[in-house]
Structure 1
Amino acid sequence: MNLNTRQQQMLDQIQAENELKISDLKDRFNVTEMTIRRDLEKLEKLGDIRRTFGGAVWIGKDVTLQVRSGVLMDEKIRIGKQAAAFVKPGESIFIDSGSTTLQVARNLTQIPDIIVVTNALNVATELLNANVQVILTGGILRQATASMVGPITTETIARMGFDRVFLGATGYTPQQGFSNSNLYEVEIKKLAIKHARESYIVLDHTKFGTNQLFIFAPESEIQHVVTDQAADPHLLAGLQQSGVNVVTV
C-alpha cells in the first residue's frame, strides 16, 4: 500500500510518540479533520496503528510471516513435532498464526477425530487436504501475518471451548510474562487462553529475554512451554519453578 508524504510523516510521528491526536495532526498538516481520519484509516489497514476516539495509537509492526518462516527452521520443526504429540484423538484445539505454530499443524494429520480451530490462513491451508476438520474463525485479514483478527474473530472464539491451545510469542521475560508486538494478535491469544483447558506456548530460544509491547499472559496462565535446547536455562528454570511444564527439543 503506497503512502503519500503526509501519511508517511504521520506514520513516522506515531511510531516515535506512540499516540497522536486528530486535532494536533489537523493543525500540523493544515488539512481538514475528515482528511486526517481518512489517512488514519489507511494506516490502520497496514496493521501498524489502531484508531481511537480522537486519534490513534501505535500497536507495533510485525516481522512478516514470510520472513519468520525462513528463520531457525530446524528448531521450529522440532518444536512443532513435540507440541503436536500432546494432542489426543477426539480433541478440539486452537492454533494461532505463526511460523512455529504452523509446524504444530503439520504434525496433526495422523491424529483421528480432532477439530482444529484457527485464525491463521497458513494453518488452514496446511490442513486443507488432511483428514482433519478445520474451522476458520473469520475476521479481518492481516496481510503481514496471514491471520484474521478483529471482532468477528473474537466473537467466534468466545463461543468455543478448547482442550488445548497452541500459541506463538515474540517475547518472554519473568517480569512481563509472554508478549507480542501486535495488539490485535494479543486479543486473540488472551481469549484463546481463557477458553482452553490447557495452554501451550511454542517459541524458539531467541524470544527469551525479549520484551514486546503487549503482554498476553503471565506464567500462571500457561501450563506448557515447548522450545529448543538453546533457550536460556535460567529462564527455563524460573518457568519450571512457577509450575510450568517446560519441554526442550
Structure 2
Amino acid sequence: MSMSLNDRQQQLMTMLESTGEVKVAVLKETFGVTEMTIRRDLEKLELAGYVKRTFGGAILASKDATLEDRSVVMTDEKSRIGRAAAALVQENDSIFIDGGTTTLYVARHLKPGMNITVVTNALNIALELLEKRITTVVTGGMALETTSTLVGPGAAESIGRMAFNRIFLGATGVSAKHGFSNSNMYEAEIKRMAIAQAAEVNVVVDHSKFGAKELFSFAALDTVHRIVCDQEPEQSLLEACRESNVELLAARD
C-alpha cells in the first residue's frame, strides 16, 4: 500500500478484505479504542481510496468503477449469497467463476490460500483471487469495459479446453419458461461454454432477478444443479425449479 498505515489500520484492511464490510461499533470493541479513533482510521483509508464509508461503518472500495452503481445495490444479500456459494467449494476443486457483482462475492468469500484452481473471465475477480494467494487462470478474450469481463472467441476457446468440478455463474434473469438469461450476448455465450464443461452448475442471483427475462437465454432450468439466492422465488418459479430438479439454496443469515 502506497500510504503508510499503522498496525490497526493494516488489520482493519485485512478484515475488510475478508468480509467486504465493517461496522464502527464492532471495530471499537475489537481494537479497544474510541469510536472517534475508528472513524479517523476509516477516514484515512477512504482518502487513500481503499474504502467507502457507509452508515455505521465502511465497505471495501470497488476495484472497478463501472461496476460501482450495481455493486452497491443489495450488498448484504450478495455477500450472503457469496458466502453460501463459496462454502460449496472443496479442496482440490477446479472451478470457474464468471463476471458479475454477485459472483465477485463468491471470490471474496473463498478462504485465502485454498488449494484450488479458479478459472475466471473477469479481471476484477482475478485481482481478488491473486490477493488471496489462490491459483488463478484468466481466460483469453476481448475485454468488455462495462463488466471487466473477457469475452469472444478467445475466451470461449480457452474454456472449451478445460473441465470444472463446479462453476458459479451470475444471471440477469431467471424464469420458468425462459430459464436463465443475460442481457449481454457475448457473456451468455461464455456461460453456455462453461456449463458444457462443468460437473456441477451453480447460478448465484439475488431475488430481484426472479421472474425477469433478458434477451439472451443461456440455460434451461434443468441444466443447472443449484441456484444460490437470498430468498426463495414465488410459488410458480419455485415449483418449476422442483420439477427441473434444481436445488434452491437460500442464504438467509
Specify if TM > 0.5: yes
CA distance in 1, matches of 2:71, 2:236: 27
- Structure 1 partner of 2:237: 235
- Structure 1 partner of 2:246: 244
Per-residue displacement from partner, 1:170-212 (whole Å, max 9, x unpaired)?
A: 0011010000001000010000000000000000001011110
- Structure 1 partner of 2:77: 75
Query: What is the CA distance between 1:108 and its match in structure 2?
Result: 1.3
Question: Structure 1 stretches (4+) deviating beyond 6 angstroms?
Answer: none
CA distance in 2, matches of 1:184, 1:222: 20
CA distance in 2, matches of 1:111, 1:220: 34
CA distance in 2, matches of 1:141, 1:183: 14
TM-score, with structure 2 as normaliser: 0.71
TM-score, with structure 1 as normaliser: 0.72
**Residue among 94, 99, 104 paired with 1:102:** 104
- Structure 2 partner of 1:204: 206
**Residue among 163, 179, 182 paired with 1:180:** 182
What SS does the corresponding residue of 1:231 show, helix, strand or coil? coil
Structure 2: gaps spanning 5 or more residues: 1-65
Structure 1: gaps spanning 5 or more residues: 1-63
Q: Given residue 139 of structure 2, which amino acid in structure 1 is its aligned partner?
A: T
Per-residue displacement from partner, 1:193-244 (whole Å, max 9, x unpaired)?
A: 0000000000000101111000000011100001012632442232123201
Larger deviation: 120-129 or 227-236? 227-236
CA distance in 2, matches of 1:85, 1:223: 16
- Structure 2 partner of 1:125: 127
What SS does the corresponding residue of 2:227 show, helix, strand or coil? strand
What SS does the corresponding residue of 1:206 show, helix, strand or coil? helix
- Structure 1 partner of 2:169: 167
CA distance in 2, matches of 1:184, 1:199: 19
Alignment size in residue pairs:
186
CA distance in 2, matches of 1:88, 1:159: 22
Q: Given residue 98 of structure 2, which amino acid in structure 1 is its aligned partner?
A: D
